[in-house]
A and B are shown apart, each in its own frame.
Chain A
Amino acid sequence: MTLLQNIITAVSVGALYALFALGLAVIYGVAGIINFAQGNFIAVAAYVLLALDGLPTPVTILGAVAAGVATSVVTELGVFRFARGADPATLLVLAFAVALAIESVIILVAGSRPLSTPFGSSLTKPIHLGSLSVMRIDLVTAVVVAVLLAGLALLLNWTPIGAQLRAAAEDFTMARLVGVRSNLVMLVAFAVGGLLAGVGGVLLVARSGTVEPSMGLEPVLVSFVAVVIGGLGSLAGAVAGGFVLGGLTIALQVLLPSDIRPYRDAILYALIVVILTFRPQGLLPSANDRSRV
């Protein structure tokens, strides 16, 4: 039973990583931007959740997710659109600049100190299923991410805009050459990235009960590792990378002797170095990574 309990935790943690990694991968795949500002979309969603405290829960959740989407879309319309075709290093620096700008605005408006919220406190209690004792937030995370991934799979595989996104992620210039509107797919990619960040932000707050300006930094760094493990630019790879990272994290947490456990992350990233040494292209690499016009 302990094994099953650990598997549920691993799936939950992996699902959260997969969620963030997918957000990064969608934007990278289409726009060629390693968007470290994704972490700030998470923070914006979390602060809006806090600001809407007291309203009915569905309203606060919807408001927070909408804020994540809006922030992401505004950065595309207001910043990245003007840097279309720039080299990857420029885009990376731009993403850092956007991240710093959003964080500064958050600090200006809400201060730099961590704030606490009762949101989701009931979810941190365990639920007993026979002899299993599972945190409710783990189940909620797994279910929410499963629904989101299924919805995204439907969008990508069964809708015209989904096909355009996949084509653009595979070969952006060629997609434009068959008439796909670059501005539209960019906007949809950023909206999807913002949606995933927004939902991730809500889940993070429900898990920790605290909100702070830099709360998105660690998730975005971890999810970037997941994206690289999965294969930069590959959407399926990002999800796989997230689950592999989540699985390894919990496995090491459980299996390592208590005196070595503080070195868990060092061992985890050493394992990732080993994986990438033998498979530098990632687990499910993208078909190609052409330059953009």
Chain B
Amino acid sequence: MSRLELIDLRVRYGAVGAVRGIDLVVESGRILALIGPNGAGKSTTLLALAGACEGKVSGRIVLDGKDISGDSPEKRTRAGIALVPEGRRIFTKLTVEQNLTLARAGNAGRAEVKIAEIYERFSVLGDFARRPAGLLSGGQQQQLAIGRALMTRPNLLLLDEPSLGLAPKVVEEVFEAVVRLRDEGLAVVLVEQNAKRAAELADMTYVLHNGQVDGEGRAAVGDELAHAFFAASDSEGSAR
């Protein structure tokens, strides 16, 4: 059982406060969705969790009772946090297999993940194992990015815009994979522009606005939140 707690997370880029005091908790077997308009602080929150945020971060990040706020990105990965970043950021010049084996570096002390397990989950990666990753399609690259994160055997998976730029059919495949991971006991934090779909998938949904939590709710409520978010966005848009 894994539990991540975020206490009063704040991120500043110079004089600008991108995240202004967020508290949240996510546990094993749960998907927590962060939705909100552009610039709400969703991706910044994920980057801060992973230790890859370039802004000034304050607040506490507690993983399984241990404060990891000051840890380096690689130390957090070895502690069980894996980020699938926006834009995938796979290593394009390495083969699919090298991308996966490389991530074993992030698995310290946990049972080693066999590449075959990843190929079983995403069969297309096995078909293209020796191919440079840069030659894969967007959907395949997204699968590789998730597979690479899983190679570290994380307790907590951070997914930033996994549906961005993908065909609807591929998006559903990716979301199905995310739900399977949740059902297998992984804790997932999902940042997603497709707020309605994210709220449907999530066990808990937080709406962020201007770097703060604007609303939160569980499962079915999440759907309503997504609608409320859209309604608010629409009225803001028409007011302009």
Contact = CB atoms under 8 A, between A and B. Distances in A.
Contact of A178 (B92, B93, B105, B108): B105
Contact of B102 (A173, A180, A182, A287): A180
A174 B148 CA distance: 11
A179 B108 contact: yes
Interface in B64-118: 72-74, 77-78, 82-83, 85, 89, 91-94, 98-99, 101-108
Residue from A166, A171, A176 with most neighbouring chain B CB atoms (10 Å): A176
A167 interface: yes
A170 B74 contact: no
Interface residues of B, number: 33
A166 B94 contact: yes
B51 interface: yes
B72 to A, nearest CB: 7
B135 interface: no
Given A163-B101, A167-B91, A181 B52 contact: no
B185 to A, nearest CB: 21
B74 A179 contact: yes
Contacts of A287: 92-93, 134
Question: Chain A interface mostly helix, strand, loop or mixed?
Answer: helix
Interface size class of A (residues with CB under 8 A): 20 to 34
A60 B232 CA distance: 75
A178 B101 contact: no
B234 interface: no
A293 interface: yes
A291 B54 contact: yes
Interface of B: 50-54, 72-74, 77-78, 82-83, 85, 89, 91-94, 98-99, 101-108, 134, 148-149, 151-152
